[in-house]
Amino acid sequence: MYFKMIFEDGFFHADPHPGNFLVVSEDVIGVMDFGTVGRITDETRAQVSQLFVALINKDVSELVDRLIDVGIVTEETDKRLLTYDIDMLMMRYHDISVRQVRVAEALNDLFGVVYKHRVIIPTELGLLLKTLVTLEGVCTMLDPGFNLIEVGRPFASQLVSEKANPLRWAPELLEDLRQLNKLLRTLPQQISDTLKQVGEGKLKVSLDHLGMGGFMNTLRRVIDQLSLSILIASFVLGSSLIIAQGRLLPPGVMPLTFLILVPAALLGLWLVFSIFTSRK
């Protein structure tokens, strides 16, 4: 029932604890309390099915590719290292029959590796996995020999096979062709408009220099230090010229040169200190 909801309907009851089920008759089960439900798109259902099959087949490369498809693995993730860690994980299950594998344990191990690499789990997928773990616990209480993977395998395999059927591609292919036709009809006009803007000098290009923030801060600091160096040099040079002409100047002028040299010396010390600290 649950796998039909997940893999066929794309709409499932997301809180499968014992209090939400009612045995109506021998072959009829009633589901109550739809306060928490999950929805997954056709694309996500296909991706989850492929992920499920890859997990059953212990296909590490396929498993990592499917994790990327569902949006778990980002560009910042080291795919090579993630593949290695999942491969090490799969070695623990190498000699274990699928019948002996518990979904809760397998997912806990898998997403322990996933969290290690700081990857993101989409909300809809997280809700689905939580539902499967809870469902496995309830079914195991009723039947200790119950195996969720064995029950779900036919549904996942069937959906994967259906997605591989060329007849299923027809609607998507027709939609892609329609979009391509629309693009080809509008592209000449868009190119013409762009060339017209270029010819009239109206085309504006916005560039975002990623990673330039640190360089610009360093450049500003260098310019500030250079400006301060020029100011200090002018103070020292001016004072030196005054001292050189000391005999020709009135008596009260010479002490003023020291009032200029003292701030210049302090600024020079501060400049040297700032240069050394900025290098660190």
Q: What is the pLDDT of residue 67?
A: 76
Domain boundaries, the chain: 2-167, 213-279
Return the H-helix or E-strand segment holding 166.
helix 166-199
User: How far apart are the C-alpha atoms of 39 and 9, rounded to whole Å?
Assistant: 9
Low-confidence ranges of the chain (pLDDT < 70): 71-75, 93-101, 159-160, 162-173, 206-216, 235, 238-261, 271, 275-280
Alpha helices in 93-122, H assignment, sequence order: 103-116
Question: b/e for 38-48, b at 16 or more Cβ within 10 A?
Answer: bebeeebbbbb
Q: What is the pLDDT of residue 55?
A: 75
Q: Are 232 and 254 in contact (CB under 8 A)?
A: no
| Chain mean position to CA 141 | 38
Radius of gyration of the chain (CA): 35
Q: Which residues pair with 31 in a beta bridge?
A: 21
User: How far apart are the C-alpha atoms of 240 and 246, rounded to whole Å?
Assistant: 10
Ramachandran area for residue 118 (φ above 0: left; ψ -120 to 50: alpha; else beta): left
Q: Is 220 exposed, middle or buried (0-12, 13-18, 19+ CB in 10 A)?
A: exposed
Q: Which of 171, 151, 152 is nearest to 42 (CA)?
A: 171
pTM above the 0.75 mark? no
Q: Which of 201, 222, 211 is nearest to 278 (CA)?
A: 222
User: Could you tell me the two tokens for 191?
Assistant: 């190119």
Q: Centre a 10 Å sphere on the Cβ of residue 85 and count the other Cβ atoms it contains.
A: 18
Local structure of 40: helix, strand or coil: coil
| Chain mean position to CA 38 | 23
Q: What is the pLDDT of residue 86?
A: 81
Instruction: List Cβ neighbours of 120 (8 Å cut-off, separation of 6 or more).
Output: 71, 72, 74
Q: Are 16 and 5 in contact (CB under 8 A)?
A: no
